[in-house]
Structure 1
Amino acid sequence: MVARKICLGLQLGPSDPEETRAILRGSREVDRMVPLPVGGLSYVQGCTKNHLLSKTVGRCLEATAQRVPEREALVDLHENVRLTFAQLKEEVDKAASGLLSIGLCKGDRLGMWGPNSYAWVLIQLATAQAGIILVSVNPAYQATELEYVLKKVGCKALVFPKQFKTQQYYNILKQICPEVENAQPGALKSQRLPDLTTVISVDAPLPGTLLLDEVLAAGSTQQHLEQLQHIQQFLSCHDPINIQFTSGTTGSPKGATLSHYNIVNNSSILGERLKLHEKTPEQLRMILPSPLYHCLGSVGGTMMCLMYGATLILASPVFNGKKALEAISRERGSFLYGTPTMFVDILNQPDFSSYDISTMRGGVIAGSPAPPELIRAIINKINMKDLVVAYGTTENSPVTFANFPEDTVEQKAESVGRIMPHTEARIMNMEAGMLAELNTPGELCIRGYCVMLGYWGEPQKTGEAVDQDKWYRTGDIATMNEQGFCKIVGRSKDMIIRGGENIYPAELEDFFHTHPKVQEVQVVGVKDDRMGEEICACIRLKDGEETTAEEMKAFCKGKISHFKIPRYIVFVTNYPLTTSGKIQKFKLREQMERHLNL
């Protein structure tokens, strides 16, 4: 803690001179790595000391498999799969060669549709190896959503398991593509999906589909493996490799298109921030409960493990708090990833204290704003001293701000950390069209290697998001302080304007989290004839707790401005979520307006 205080210029030092010197060395090192904002304005440029990498994903896998061939690369507890890096590389080569052998070519789009699994990781790496563009399809999509994304990017192939829980993938596909039942495998002709020719089933023989095992078998022949090696000579690190649909918290999803260069460097830089290069193999065991179809899972999870020779441990097909704890204890996990909602669930497991979490060291929390109380609880209760809060967007591959593991609990609780290397950030006062002063909210914009290639097939929407100077507008309202710490205040579209006053929901959510009975809270604006919008707080209480709206309003009095006290307080048991665990505020707003008869 003292280290950070010295770093921030407060002369609070320990009495032992040797300790003081060590702390100063540590803080100077961080200060040297993190440039500060200049001239009182909210602009900062990350350090550029280390070079960016110009390698494809395939080259990175090859390098790691040569460096640590016998180290465990992937553990999938649900399917009982364990592979070393050498074995994973061999399987990925077969899968990549197999995809080419069934007629897929460099630049074709292949959709991966299903929960976390060994097949997901295999296909993610095999498509990159063959120059095929992976389309991450949300596993919860129903027929109309599936049709929208497959058409949007012209998918030529689709890979999925037969079913998961109540989600019957094959039957959903049949609703929009009835021709599959009578098709020759690999030669599908579909009226509504004219680009789709090849359907691959992960686990069960189904009419009109190829089995994933058959694709691997085809790829095992010498001839096809040689074809793969030939194709790899023509891959560029600037080729598109992945299309990620931005979560539908607003409007139709857009296909953010990322290159090898985007994700290889983002995962490399994130691992550097987490100090993975200093860890022993035992400390490089990553528990990943986050979905792989999301940028945090596929880049921060799969790619970062591949870059640093860390073991990727898939706890369960979809998030399950109990399974995450079991994975930590059984596999001696040291790092844990998740969204705030996931961490809340893990901490709330009734038998939490019975799990052995002694090997835990750190991890990443990202995906939506995390209340300070939650950050403190994670660090103290799950043993995650090296936790970092990360911020990013799919369009930025994803991470652009993160803490250093050695930042104080306070700095982690009150910010999303500092700018990542090779990345520029500025906060714009949108009304004036100028840089905002420090500690003044405005729209956060990002520039650098991490900005996506664009939205697939949407030049107009790409132009609205990325300006001519290559600045990407995040749509997030943020502030930056003198040390370059960034705080996300809210989404520009979630901001509530009540009688001309701008109110940021995140600020109120953080405030309500300090109430001892509150488990979780979301604040939305609901329509109001007089004020334009009124504030509605949707509160989920801790198990067994009771309170009233009046009591909650009384709790606010004298602690926050009167105009920020919610007019409506509604107690709820859950929130509408996207499948990646983000809260859909627009749906919550609609629900509340109906509930309140507005």
Structure 2
Amino acid sequence: MNGLLDITARRAAIDPDAIAFHVVNTGEEIDYRALERRSAQVASLLETYGVAAGDRVVILCRNRVEFFELLFACAKLGAILVPLNWRMPASELIQLIDDCTPVLTITGAEDRDTARAISAPMDLPLLDLDGEYSQQREAARLHPGRSGWPGQDCWYLIYTSGTTGKPKGVIQTYAMALVNSVNIGQAIGLRGTDSTLNFLPLFHTAGINLHTLPVLFGGGTVHILPGFEAGPMLELINAGALDVFIGVPAVYRELTLHPDFARTDLTRLRHWACGGAPLPDILVERFAAGGAIVCNGFGMTETGPTAFLVDEARALDKIGSVGKTQILVEARIAGPGGEILAAGEIGEIQFHGPGLTPGYWQRPQETTELFTEDGWLKSGDLGRFDEDGYCFVAGRIKEMYISGGENVYPAEVENILADHPDVQEASVTGVPDEKWGEVGCAHIILRQSASGDIAALNAWCRERLAAYKVPRHVVFARDFPRTAAGKVQKHLLPRPGSTG
């Protein structure tokens, strides 16, 4: 795949007056003419800081238009943008700095102190988005940019959030952005006039690609919030300002708990999607009662990310499924020995197509291990296809545990627990047991005013699950450690009896 032309330049040429961004908190609107001008000026500004093709630029900020100015400016130069996780302490971020060796740090006011702390050891220059940035940008010349953005070149790096270990820099190419735009665009019927909401963290692939870049490629409008705010989201939905939306399960859960949820006309938003983690059936049913069909999907940072998305027509009768693969990606289910499994059998989900990452930054061994000998990407996730070709995800390979010789898939147990009226969220892990080898430990976040009756939870599970699947232990929690996508970091959950 050859790649892209200069996206902001092309959009400015096609429809310069169309609104690219609307900043929800201030009301500011930026049209495509202004987005192209700003991006070209920022490309020149970056050059004054010594940034050249191939150089890495790290950015630590909340969701804001300037992030996308910088993303497109890096594309014009051939530089590589590296969004950093502002939830990480400086001690962890310094490891990522050492890994990607940037030439410049960019930050917003909320993360200024952390940015200074991580820049000092390498004596990196610091550009402050809430300081000198706007004045320097407006004083900069318009950069002519490159004639094209080669498909296999790295555009930006996304460090995986690490549900099981140390983050790795996943290479994100221009071709991946284009393929994702096609995959998600066809799946949701994206139109050039559509609007979406940008609020998922920008250091995660969904914050950039779902649905912001596809909407910008198509000439639509992106409403932008610094982060998750249930009230403003529901207000935008009720006002009919949003056409397409994607959130993680934690977002859907918080929307239902907000007092304005019952007064929100969910049908004013055309397409609802969910990814990042399994969406409990009860949440699908709650939104369906309000006229909104939430389409569950599945993908990875390594897949660009869109791979699976269930279609609206089958979302309810295939509840729990992540749907079929989209137009530019294939998937198969493989057994432990690499054999391809038939429908109904559970194995590793593997991917093939033009939108996959070429690998991990400076990690040749891990890159080799990511792919099979015949070039399919190994997801590390377990799943199965039904007879109609719909995929059901059973969880991470490392999350599956064996109790009394039987395989237990935590996602199945979590879904049952989430249906209990006292349970707001559940996360299940396997823990050692002298008799059975491993047994389940259910970590539970209770709904407000719920009593936390362990006997009742046990009885609920026994009515709905085989005995070996019923969790032997229950641990109550106020919240779970999470990745940027809302996935629970199960390796950080305390074991029963611990004080962690």
TM bracket, shorter-chain basis? over 0.9
Residues matched between the structures, number: 500
Partner of 1:569: helix, strand, or coil? strand
Q: Which residue of 1 aligns with 2:483?
A: 578
**Distance in structure 2 (CA, Å) of the matches to 1:418 and 1:563:** 31
Q: 1:268–1:307: 8 Å Cα contact kept in structure 2?
A: no
Whether the 8 Å CA contact 2:346–2:382 is kept in 1: the answer is yes
**Counterpart residue identity of residue 89, structure 2:** Q
Structure 1 residues 406 and 84, CA gap change in structure 2 (3 angstroms): farther
User: Aligned partners of 2:198 and 2:115: how far apart in 1?
Assistant: 28
In 2, distance between residues paired with 1:506 and 1:480? Answer: 16
Supply the distance in 2 between the matched residues of 1:75 and 1:102 (Cα, whole angstroms). Answer: 29
Q: Deviations over 1:161-181 (max 9, x none)?
A: 122xxxxx3322443444xxx
Secondary structure in 2 aligned to 1:530?
coil
Q: Which residue of 2 aligns with 1:84?
A: 31
Matched, 1:202 2:129: yes
| Aligned mate of 1:367, from 276, 281, 289 | 276
RMSD across aligned C-alpha pairs, in angstroms? 2.1
Shift of residue 583, structure 1, vs aligned partner: 1.1
Contact 2:307–2:326 (8 Å) recurs in 1: yes
Contact 2:63 2:198 in 1 (8 A): no
- Find the aligned partners of 2:93 and 2:71 in 1 and give their Cα distance: 19
Measure how far apart 1:483 and its partner are: 1.7
- Aligned runs of 1:205-354 on 2, under 5 Å? 211-219=132-140, 221=141, 225=142, 228-229=143-144, 231-233=145-147, 235-277=149-191, 281=193, 284-314=194-224, 316-330=225-239, 332-354=241-263
Q: Which has the higher contact order (CA 8 A, sep 6+)?
A: 1
Distance 2:260 2:187 in 1: 33
Deviation at 1:293, TM superposition (A): 1.7
Q: TM-score, normalised by structure 1?
A: 0.79
Q: Does 1:437 align with 2:437?
A: no
Shift of the alpha carbon at 1:89?
1.7
SS at match of 1:455: coil
Shift of 1:233: 2.7
The one-letter code of the counterpart of 1:384 is A
Q: Residue type matched to 2:350 in 1?
A: C
Which residue of structure 1 lines up, in the alignment, with residue 74 of structure 2?
A: 127
User: Residues of 2 paired with 1:272 and 1:329: CA distance?
Assistant: 25
Q: Are the counterparts in 1 of residues 149 and 174 from structure 2 also a CA contact under 8 Å? A: no
CA distance in 1: counterparts of 2:146 and 2:497, whole angstroms: 55
Distance 1:82 1:415 in 2: 38
SS in 1 for 2:6: helix
Question: Which structure has the larger Rg?
Answer: 1
Counterpart-to-counterpart distance in 2, 1:63 and 1:404 = 31
Q: Which runs of 5+ in 2 are unaligned?
A: none
Matches of 1:578 and 1:408, distance apart in 2: 26
Aligned to 1:423: 329
1:338 and 1:547 map into 2 onto residues whose CA distance is 28
Q: Which residue of 2 aligns with 1:144?
A: 91
Deviations 1:100-126 (A, max 9, x none): 243211111011111111222221222
Name the residue aligned to 1:594. Answer: 498
Deviation at 1:218, TM superposition (A): 4.3
Label 1:490 to 1:580 Cα distance change in 2 as closer, same or farther (>3 A).
closer
Distance 1:323 1:591, change over 3 A: farther
Work out the CA distance in 1 between the residues paired with 2:232 and 2:483. Answer: 21
User: Any idea what the Cα deviations from partners look like across 1:546-590, whole Å, max 9, x if unmatched?
Assistant: 2411111112224211111111123322212224422111111x3
Relative to 1, partners in 2 of residues 1:423 and 1:593: Cα closer, same or farther, differing over 3 Å? farther
In structure 2, C-alpha distance between the alignment counterparts of 1:295 and 1:408, rounded to whole Å: 24
Q: Aligned equivalents of 2:61 and 2:240: distance in 1? A: 24
SS of structure 1 residue aligned to 2:91: helix
Report the counterpart of residue 155 of structure 1 in structure 2: 102
1:423-465 per-residue CA deviation (whole Å, 9 max, x = no partner) reads 22111111x4311121110011111112112100010111111
Q: Which amino acid aligns with 1:135?
A: V
Residue 452 in 1 paired to residue 400 in 2?
no
Give the TM-score normalised by structure 2.
0.94
Change (3 A) 1:355 1:524: same
* 1:175 matched residue in structure 2: 117
Amino acid at match of 1:517: D
Q: CA deviation at 1:357?
A: 4.7
CA contact (8 A) 1:273 1:404 kept: yes
Partners of 2:36 and 2:239 in 1: CA distance: 25
- Confirm whether residue 114 of structure 1 aligns to residue 45 of structure 2: no
Residues 332 and 357 in structure 1, CA contact (< 8 A), matched pair in contact too: no
User: How far apart in 1 are the matches of 2:118 and 2:219?
Assistant: 41
Structure 1 counterpart SS, 2:150: coil
1:30-49: CA deviations, max 9, x gaps? xxxxxxxxxxxxxxxxxxxx
CA shift for structure 1 position 330:
5.0
Shift of 1:234: 6.2
- Deviation, 1:469, is 2.3
The CA deviation at 1:419 is 0.9
% identity of equivalent residues: 27
Gap change, CA 1:317 and 1:550, over 3 Å in 2: same
Q: Which amino acid aligns with 1:483?
A: D
Identify if the C-alpha distance between structure 1 residues 329 and 100 changes in structure 2 by more than 3 Å, giving closer, same or farther: farther
> Is residue 74–residue 80 contact of structure 2 (8 Å, CA) maintained in 1?
yes
- The amino acid of 2:213's aligned partner reads M
1:426 aligns to what SS in structure 2? Answer: strand
- Contact 1:102–1:215, Cα closer than 8 Å, also in 2: no
CA distance in 1, matches of 2:57, 2:287: 38
Change (3 A) 1:306 1:351: closer
Shift of 1:74: 0.6
CA distance in 2, matches of 1:539, 1:350: 23
- Give secondary structure in 1 for the equivalent of 2:72: helix
1:271–1:308 Cα contact (<8 Å) kept: no
